[in-house]
C-alpha cells in the first residue's frame, strides 16, 4: 500500500510517497533515511493521487540527461547544476537543489540521493554506490537505463495483452446492457397483451428488459458500487495476495507467472552483479520482486550461499531455476561473468514470455469477440423470433 509521508530533513519540509504494509512501517522507512516524520496517511483520495503524479520524479529522463552530460565531459556537479537550471517543475528543481547541497557538504552522490527514496529507488542507489568504487558512474547509469527499458518493455507487452480483452468485455457488456435496458422494453410495447403467446426464451428476455428499465437507477448505482468495491479490494495487500495465490494455481498460467517472476529476478540480480555488488546483497535487494512463496525459497538459497555453496547450486536447490537457467548459471560461474549470464537468461525467457503473450492475444481476442457477438446475436434473435413465427404462420 502507498503512504504519503510528511517529514523534516536538513533541507527543510518534504513530502514523499512510500510503499509499505502499514503506516508505522512507512514511518520507519522514512526515519531510517534520516527524516523526522511529521505525519503519515494512506494514499486513498484522488487529490493525493494527482499530487503524487505531479510530484513524481522523472528518474529515467533524469538518468538519460545526466548520462549525456557526463559523456560530454561535464563533472557530476556541473551536470546536476545544468539539469537544475533547465528544470521547469518546482518539485524536481527543489529535489536537485537538495542533492547538490549535500554534494557541497561533502557527501557522495549515492549518499545524497539515498535521502530521497521517493525519487531514487534502492536499486538505483546501490548501482551508483557500486559505481563510485570504480569511478565509472556513466556505465552504471547506462546499465540502469537499459535495465529499466527492458523491464518496461516486458511490462508494456503484458499490460497491452490484458487491456484489449478487458476493453472488449467492457464494450460488449455496455452494448448488451443497452439492448436489455432500452431496445428490449420498446419491443415489449409491440408485444404487449400477447406476451403469453411468445416463446419462453423471448418472454424471459422481455421480463428482464422491463426489470432493468424500471430499476435503471438501482442497476446503474449497483454496477458502480461493484466496480468501486473491486477497485478498493484490489488496493488491499491481502486481497491481491489471495488473488495472486489463485492465479498461481491455474494450470498453464501459473507456470508463465513463475517464469515472469524469475525473469525480473534474474535481470535485476544480473544488473547488480555487473555493477560490482556482492551476490548476497544483490539477492536481498531483488527479494521484493518475487512472489511471497518464492521469497521463502530465496531466503533458503541465501542461507546456502552463506554456507559456502555455489550460487547456481543454491538457486537450483531452492527451485529458483529452470533446466536452461541452471546450465547457463554454471557457465557463468566458470567464466566469472555471472552478471552477464543472468541478464542473458532474462533475455532468453523474455522471448518465451513474448511468445506466450502473442499466443494468448491471438487465442483470447477472437474467442471474446465470438462470445460477445453470440450474446448480442441471441438477444436480437429472441427479439425478432415472434415476428419470424408470425410471418411463417401467415404463409
Give the domain ranges of the chain: 1-56, 58-120, 139-395
pLDDT at 233: 76
d(CA 276, CA 8) in angstroms, rounded, equals 33
pLDDT at 100: 92
Contacts of 305-313 with CB under 8 Å at 24 or more apart are 305/279, 305/280, 306/280, 311/279, 311/338
d(CA 309, CA 315) in angstroms, rounded, equals 10
| Residue ranges of the chain with per-residue pLDDT less than 70 | 1-2, 9-12, 19-21, 43-55, 191-197, 237, 240-241, 244, 248, 389-395
Q: Name the 3-class secondary structure at 138.
A: helix
pLDDT at 21: 63
Whether this model's pTM surpasses 0.75: no
pLDDT at 45: 46
Q: What's the grid cell of residue 368?
A: 471474446
pLDDT at 383: 78
- Whether the Cβ atoms of residue 5 and residue 26 lie closer than 8 Å to each other: yes
Interval 146-198: pLDDT, tens: 888 877 877 777 777 778 788 888 888 888 888 888 888 877 777 666 666 67
Tell which residue, 345, 323, 350, 353, has the closest CA to residue 271: 345
pLDDT at 214: 80
- DSSP label of 56: -
d(CA 300, CA 314) in angstroms, rounded, equals 8
- Whether the Cβ atoms of residue 379 and residue 179 lie closer than 8 Å to each other: yes
**What is the crossing angle of helices 137-178 and 59-71, to 10°?**
150
pLDDT at 235: 73
pLDDT at 89: 86
d(CA 282, CA 301) in angstroms, rounded, equals 12
Does domain 1-56 bear CATH number 3.10.20?
A: yes
Amino acid at each position: 500500500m502507498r503512504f504519503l509521508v510528511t517529514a523534516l530533513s536538513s533541507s527543510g519540509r518534504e513530502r514523499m510517497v512510500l510503499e509499505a504494509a502499514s503506516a508505522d512501517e512507512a514511518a520507519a522507512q522514512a526515519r531510517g533515511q534520516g527524516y523526522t516524520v511529521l505525519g503519515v496517511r494512506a494514499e486513498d483520495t484522488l487529490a493525493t493521487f494527482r499530487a503524487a503524479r505531479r510530484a513524481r520524479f522523472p528518474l529515467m529522463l533524469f538518468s538519460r540527461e545526466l548520462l549525456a552530460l557526463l559523456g560530454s565531459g561535464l563533472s557530476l556537479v556541473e551536470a546536476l547544476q545544468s539539469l537544475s537550471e533547465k528544470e521547469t517543475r518546482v518539485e524536481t528543481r527543489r529535489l536537485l537543489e537538495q542533492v547538490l547541497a549535500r554534494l557541497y557538504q561533502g557527501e557522495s552522490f549515492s549518499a545524497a540521493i539515498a535521502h530521497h527514496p521517493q525519487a531514487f529507488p534502492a536499486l538505483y542507489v546501490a548501482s551508483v554506490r557500486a559505481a563510485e568504487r570504480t569511478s565509472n558512474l556513466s556505465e552504471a547509469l547506462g546499465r540502469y537505463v537499459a535495465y529499466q527499458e527492458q523491464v518496461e518493455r516486458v511490462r508494456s507487452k503484458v499490460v497491452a495483452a490484458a487491456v484489449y480483452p478487458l476493453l472488449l468485455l467492457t464494450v460488449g457488456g455496455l452494448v448488451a446492457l443497452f439492448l436489455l435496458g432500452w431496445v428490449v422494453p420498446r419491443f415489449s410495447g409491440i408485444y404487449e397483451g400477447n406476451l403469453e403467446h411468445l416463446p419462453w426464451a423471448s418472454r424471459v428476455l422481455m421480463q428482464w428488459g422491463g426489470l432493468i428499465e424500471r430499476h435503471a437507477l438501482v442497476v446503474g448505482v449497483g454496477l458502480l458500487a461493484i466496480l468501486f468495491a473491486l477497485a478498493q479490494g484490489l488496493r488491499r495487500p491481502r486481497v491481491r495476495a489471495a488473488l495472486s495465490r489463485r492465479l498461481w494455481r491455474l494450470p498453464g498460467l501459473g507456470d508463465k507467472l513463475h517464469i515472469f517472476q524469475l525473469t525480473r529476478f534474474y535481470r535485476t540480480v544480473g544488473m547488480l552483479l555487473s555493477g560490482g555488488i556482492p551476490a548476497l546483497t544483490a539477492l536481498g535487494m531483488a527479494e521484493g520482486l518475487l512472489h511471497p512463496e518464492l521469497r521463502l525459497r530465496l531466503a533458503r538459497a541465501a542461507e546456502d550461499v552463506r554456507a559456502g555453496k555455489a550460487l547456481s547450486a543454491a538457486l537450483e536447490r531452492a527451485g529458483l531455476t529452470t533446466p536452461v537457467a541452471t546450465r547457463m548459471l554454471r557457465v557463468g560461474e566458470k567464466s566469472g561473468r555471472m552478471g552477464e549470464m543472468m541478464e542473458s537468461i532474462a533475455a532468453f525467457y523474455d522471448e518465451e514470455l513474448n511468445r506466450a503473450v502473442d499466443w494468448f492475444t491471438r487465442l483470447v481476442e477472437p474467442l471474446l469477440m465470438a462470445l460477445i457477438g453470440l450474446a448480442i446475436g441471441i438477444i436480437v434473435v429472441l427479439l425478432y423470433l415472434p415476428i419470424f413465427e408470425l410471418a411463417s404462420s401467415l404463409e
